[in-house]
Amino acid sequence: MPYFLIIDEINRGNLSKIFGELMMLIEADKRGEKNKIKLAYSSKDQFYIPDNLHIIGTMNTADRSLTIVDYTLRRRFAFIKMKPKFNEQFEAFLLKKGISKDIISSIIDKMTTLNNFINADESLGDGFEIGHSYFCSYKSGEHNKWLSNVFKYEIIPLIEEYWFDDQQLIDEYTSIIES
């Protein structure tokens, strides 16, 4: 039976220090009881990573203040890039929540346009694209007010942060969202 250890925002800490002696045991060919090691601070205890333990770490590559994952850790993990999904599944999810098709189309059009600008910006790129999770929190109430609040309090502040030194771009991209 497989087991999973999920570490959210794995790059928030110094991974070499956090993993310590585990670093070499994470490798696929170093797992299992046959590869157990003595712990540094114990003369008797031994430790190993079971073959059926899978470690999944999530990273927010847009957060520039976080630790960069060093090569020794990077080579022990496979990396899968996750892109925003303003697609049919997103549309179906919002339809089930009772959001109108017109509002969903508006979200998809505006966010696709904005993400194209973000992706084309050399100082940002695809790691800074704005994801669909901003629009998954709708519970109940008036749809237009909910959407207006998401744009006003979440998306527009992000635009202002991304282009903090270019008011013209802030105004241009904000107008796309507010249209």
How would residue 66 be classed by pLDDT, with cut points 50, 70 and 90? low
Rounded distance, CA 39 to CA 45, Å?
A: 6
How would residue 172 be classed by pLDDT, with cut points 50, 70 and 90? very high
State pLDDT tens for residues 110-154. 999 999 999 999 999 988 999 999 999 888 878 889 999 999 999
Output the furthest CA–CA distance in the chain (Å, rounded).
Answer: 68
Tell me whether residue 165 is exposed, middle or buried, using C-beta atoms within 10 angstroms of its C-beta: 0 to 12, 13 to 18, 19 or more: exposed
pLDDT exceeds cutoff 70 at 63: no
Rounded distance, CA 148 to CA 142, Å?
A: 10
> Tokens 């179906």 map to which residue?
92
Number of Cβ within 10 Å of residue 131's Cβ equals 15
Contact (Cβ atoms closer than 8 angstroms) between residue 21 and residue 37: yes
How would residue 37 be classed by pLDDT, with cut points 50, 70 and 90? confident
Which pLDDT does position 10 carry in this prediction? 82
- Name the pTM for this structure: 0.74
Average pLDDT for 37-49: 82
